[in-house]
A and B are shown apart, each in its own frame.
Chain A
């Protein structure tokens, strides 16, 4: 699990059914932010997070299934909480 900041989102109309209707956030941890050598990280929003929020990102298939509501979802990057 990583603490990341939400720095944006992507708009995608054609999505796999498992993530249809889900918001896809651009997230970066403190080491990744602004580093030109790091790929842009994405995560499915499970909590209604927005730009500027510090969030907890989980990389697990179990989290992906819970947030999408799909058994065996093809997703493992998920925002599961907003850090207070």
Chain B
């Protein structure tokens, strides 16, 4: 599981049935200093987010279980983060 920022969304004109009415977001991973790191990814979400939101993301086959019935996705946003607390003194 990791922290990321929502930087956009993807809209499909044609999709398999399981993706109908499922918002898709583009996310950017963040490091401990909340700086962008790595490549952009597309992921599903259990609830629509807004651009700029910090989010909790799970990238794994278990992402499918965020939906009922399970959806054929491999990455999902599980929550919207209000604040991040890092204790540098303990690193």
Contacts and interface: CB of A to CB of B under 8 A. Distances in A.
Interface in A1-45: 5-16, 18-19, 24, 26, 28, 33-44
A38 B1 contact: no
B37 A12 contact: no
B32 A51 contact: no
A51 B91 CA distance: 9
Contacts of A64: 62
Interface in B1-44: 1-4, 29-35, 37-38
Contacts, number: 133
Contacts of A24: 1, 56, 79
A39 B65 CA distance: 23
Given A10-B84, A44-B1, 5 more contacts: A7-B87, A13-B82, A39-B38, A42-B2, A73-B62
